[in-house]
Structure 1
Amino acid sequence: MNITLQQMQTLDAVVSQGSIQAGARYLNKTHPSVITVLKKLEDALGFALFDRSGYRSVLTEEGKKFHKSVKQILGDMDELKNQVTHLRGGEEGELNIVVGDITPLPGALAVLRRFSREHPYTRLNLFFGNLFGPNERLLDGDADLIIHHVDKSDSRYEYRDFCKVRVVPVVAPGFLDLPISRELRYADLEGYTQCIIRDTSTHSEKLNRFVLDNVPHLTVGDQYTKKEVILQGMGWGHMPLFLVEEEVSCGKLISIAGKYIKGVTREIVIARLSAPEKGIMAERLWQSF
């Protein structure tokens, strides 16, 4: 059985336009030539596509099922043509984005969702990393863009400001056996387990932010697990405020920030390498933020 693209397009035009005559006009073909194409298609299939017993030809049950498959094939071919146009234009087929551990996800994902809808032929590969992990992937050339914090004085980065995140030290009520006040010092926390997050970098110098020496450590892989560990009274630690703001407000967690135990505000940026070579879609994504 040999079914041609012309035959499928002719059948779809006749069905979608409502008649052979209207289908012929749509295809800029003569009425007899369309009839000939349909007759050859029926001969190849071995069954009638149209019931011609009435005033107007209508699809048979077999014809309805076959046309449904034809529409799927023609849709796939249009999709393939669009994909070829996309690739022929030098547009990247995929981009790698790494989101940092203290980046608020809703705002970042809203931009990425909009980009995906506008550019369906570029697949976004989304990764997550902690501490210096996103930076390492960018510097190694394994990411097109990161949403994280960077050293703004480092000339290897080009960046755009995205948001600011307050990071605060918190504990669960009853975790500390001493009064909580603004006078607390890090020395007062000796003997208490500190929950810290694992740096996902593999070959760079590990970051050591707020990590106390000579205290028990409980290491976790992400901020959400860290939050639950602290809520369960298994340790204390620094958390992005947007993740624990509700718990702090209702007293499930207590901030111990004060004169000596400090929080910090991190500037989250959209960052890429400052090298001049930029892909078409990578540049469009950059401009989306």
Structure 2
Amino acid sequence: MQNFTLQEIQCFDAVVREGGFQAAAALLNRSHAAVFAAIAKLEDNLGVALFDRTGYRVALTDAGRSFHRKAQSLIGEMEALQLHARQLAMGEETHLRVILGDACPLNDGLQLLSGFFANCHTTRLDLHFETIGGPCERLLEDEADLILHWIDKSDSRLEWIDLGTHSFVPVVAPGFLPFAPTGSITPEQMRGLTQCIIRDTARVPKLNYYIVEGAPQCTVADHPMRREVILRGMAWGHLPHFMIEEDLRDGRLLSITGEYFPGVEVALVAARRRDRPHGPIANRLWDHIGACAPDLQKR
């Protein structure tokens, strides 16, 4: 077996992803003949057929499928190396894209970031707010460098720093319920009452948190607006405890936490891509968050 080139691997991957030589050639901005020749040379060097060409469209052979799985990791490493080289050539980043999620207390998030960016005048903070699945979707689509939110910790593409947990409590205003506010309220009892929910900013929403199916809904953009709607007796819903602690203590809001509406504990983290290189400013911010994390976890 002879050595193969990275260009041949790129042609091979393009044919697989695009489903044909002509489409792969257009993607790579190369001629059909050049792509065809690269694949033929790759197969010759490997000594195996990667594609079955007997049908109307080319299809991977078993050997081709196996080789492509390995090739994808090589291509990923190459793309990461190219990105790292661009970052080295640029020096320190001119801006960082950070997303505050709805699970992050605004004061804590801004205090954490201001403690860093107050002494980092050459890098602009590009700060956004997203809800529910939006923060992680932006991160995985390379539209954010860092998020302060919750994540799926089983996702190997991500690394994180724990920042503590926050509870979300189902609440109503006094007089909203047509029955006693006890811990044994069922979804059937709540189905006829308006529920206030937050719009998911994910382009492809995948999760449906705390929603009573079939209940009328009032939709808002964030927790402060949801709090105002609930306080005015327009709907019920879940709110973060850090936002309504005084409301609960003073009786402006009533918890209906119980067997069927237990509330939820959310693990707040700072998260970024593990499978992407990060510039010097991003790494210093990461270290800053790591140093501050123990204090945030105590709150």
Where 2:135 maps in the other structure, the secondary structure is helix
> Share of identical aligned residues, percent?
45
Where 1:226 maps in the other structure, the secondary structure is helix
Using the TM superposition, give the Cα deviation of residue 206 of structure 1 relative to its aligned residue in structure 2, in angstroms: 3.4
Using the TM superposition, give the Cα deviation of residue 89 of structure 1 relative to its aligned residue in structure 2, in angstroms: 7.1
Q: Which residue of 1 aligns with 2:167?
A: 166
1:259 counterpart = 2:277:
no
Where 1:165 maps in the other structure, the secondary structure is strand
1:93 counterpart = 2:94:
yes
**Deviation digits for residues 21-75 of structure 1, max 9, x if unmatched?**
xxxxxxxxxxxxxxxxxxxxxxxxxxxxxxxxxxxxxxxxxxxxxxxxxxxxxxx
Where 1:243 maps in the other structure, the secondary structure is helix
Residue type at the aligned position of 2:241: L
Q: TM-score, normalised by structure 1?
A: 0.68
Using the TM superposition, give the Cα deviation of residue 163 of structure 1 relative to its aligned residue in structure 2, in angstroms: 1.8
What are the ranges of 5 or more consecutive residues in structure 1 without an aligned counterpart?
Answer: 1-86
Higher Rg: 1
Q: Is the 8 A contact 2:101 2:130 kept in 1?
A: yes
Using the TM superposition, give the Cα deviation of residue 205 of structure 1 relative to its aligned residue in structure 2, in angstroms: 3.2
Q: Which residue of 2 aligns with 1:286?
A: 286
**Deviation digits for residues 221-250 of structure 1, max 9, x if unmatched?**
111000000001000001101111110110
Residue type at the aligned position of 1:282: A
Q: Is the 8 A contact 1:102 1:223 kept in 2?
A: no
CA RMSD of aligned residues (A): 1.4
Q: Which residue of 2 aligns with 1:126?
A: 127
Residue type at the aligned position of 1:142: E
Q: Provide the rounded CA distance (Å) in 2 between the counterparts of 1:139 and 1:257.
A: 34
What are the ranges of 5 or more consecutive residues in structure 2 without an aligned counterpart?
Answer: 1-87, 290-299
Q: Provide the rounded CA distance (Å) in 2 between the counterparts of 1:280 and 1:168.
A: 40
Residue type at the aligned position of 2:153: K
Q: Which residue of 1 aligns with 2:115?
A: 114
Residue type at the aligned position of 2:131: N
Q: Is the 8 A contact 2:167 2:264 kept in 1?
A: yes
1:211 counterpart = 2:201:
no
Q: Is the 8 A contact 1:231 1:253 kept in 2?
A: yes
Q: Provide the rounded CA distance (Å) in 1 between the counterparts of 2:146 and 2:207.
A: 20
- Matched positions, count: 202
Q: Provide the rounded CA distance (Å) in 2 between the counterparts of 1:111 and 1:89.
A: 26
Q: Provide the rounded CA distance (Å) in 1 between the counterparts of 2:260 and 2:188.
A: 10
Using the TM superposition, give the Cα deviation of residue 276 of structure 1 relative to its aligned residue in structure 2, in angstroms: 4.2
Q: Provide the rounded CA distance (Å) in 2 between the counterparts of 1:182 and 1:149.
A: 27
Q: Which residue of 1 aligns with 2:196?
A: 195
What aligned pairs does 1:33-112 form with structure 2 within 5 A after superposition? Answer: 90-112=91-113
Using the TM superposition, give the Cα deviation of residue 111 of structure 1 relative to its aligned residue in structure 2, in angstroms: 1.9
Q: TM-score, normalised by structure 2?
A: 0.66
Q: Which residue of 2 aligns with 1:157?
A: 158
Q: Provide the rounded CA distance (Å) in 1 between the counterparts of 2:241 and 2:154.
A: 26
Runs of 4+ in 1 over 4 A off after TM superposition: none
Residue type at the aligned position of 1:113: S
Using the TM superposition, give the Cα deviation of residue 278 of structure 1 relative to its aligned residue in structure 2, in angstroms: 1.0
Q: Which residue of 2 aligns with 1:138?
A: 139
